Structure 1
Amino acid sequence: MSAFSDALAVTASGLKAQATRLRILSENIANTDTPGYRRKTVPFRLEASDTAVAQVAVGKVRLDRSELARVHDPAHPLADATGHYDGSNVDLIIEIADAREAQRSYEANLKMFEQTRQMSSGLMELLRR
């Protein structure tokens, strides 16, 4: 593989990883008010390849085991005898901050992909002359 192919493979793996992260974050945001919902997290790991260049891969999606919020609403159908039920452990502020970080990382990978493609095209143009 050429250096251009390696660079494109690395940026493509980063794009896939950040897209998965954004999907999981979107699920968390959508379920902020869902009773009993546990926040999902997605770890990244290095993936060995047949070249000297390592790529990023998404690990197994995990559930956040932090305590669920106790919500007091005696009128809620899930409320117990004391009028409480388990809410979710999703913090909307953290999810939005993580989503912005993932978006910026995605954009950086996309920019690297485009720069590599342009350099490859420029090299081909020089070789044709």
Structure 2
Amino acid sequence: MGFFDGYNVSVSGMSAQRTRINVVSANIANAKTTHTAEGGPYKKQNVVFEEVLLNEKQKHASQVDKKLNENSDLALRGVGVKSIVEDDASPVMRYEPSHPDANEEGYVAYPDINPVVEMVDLIEAMRSYEANVATFNTHKGIDTKTLDIIKV
């Protein structure tokens, strides 16, 4: 395990959660959007995470680190964003005949987005981000103490 591997795991988690926060925020902001450039109501988006071998991401990993991870059954991993997918839920139809996007029967198609569920998702992403920050800071504290001991 390299000196910076713990930092890299935390940073990968922070980056993934930041993407999730941005996507959930867009869902909340567009919960009432009935007309998009593609036509039809806004489609809810979800983030799909994937496990990532950090040494595959790092081009500058030392030969020793590569050899250690090669021989290890528990290779160091991080998290990344695999994709952002659109939800395939059908829109919610509401009777509003005076709305400019109403169909012939007077119904308007709204996105199937529940703001309460989105807020819970947002809070969960924020807590995960904060946990990664705490992990990063703990790792930094351990490294600082280690360097202080070595300096003796």
1:126 aligns with 2:131: no
Paired residue total: 128
Q: Distance in 2 between matches of 1:76 and 1:32?
A: 16
1:25-79 per-residue CA deviation (whole Å, 9 max, x = no partner) reads: 0000000110101110001100123242111000111000011100210001111
Q: Shift of the alpha carbon at 1:5? A: 1.1
Match for residue 44 of structure 1 among 49, 59, 78:
49
Name the larger-Rg structure. 2
Measured on the aligned residues, the alpha-carbon RMSD in Å equals 1.0
Unaligned runs of 5+ in 2: 35-40, 56-68, 70-74
Match for residue 111 of structure 2 among 74, 84, 88:
88
Which residue of structure 1 lines up, in the alignment, with residue 38 of structure 2?
Answer: none
Q: TM-score, structure 2 length as denominator?
A: 0.81
Q: Distance in 2 between matches of 1:75 and 1:89?
A: 21
Task: Give the fraction of aligned pairs with identical amino acids, expressed as a percent.
Answer: 30
State the SS of the aligned residue for 1:45.
Answer: strand
Q: Amino acid of the residue matched to residue 107 of structure 2?
A: H
Q: TM-score, structure 1 length as denominator?
A: 0.95
Q: Distance in 1 between matches of 2:83 and 2:48?
A: 7
State the SS of the aligned residue for 1:59.
Answer: strand
Q: Amino acid of the residue matched to residue 34 of structure 1?
A: T
Q: Runs of 4+ in structure 1 displaced over 3 angstroms?
A: none
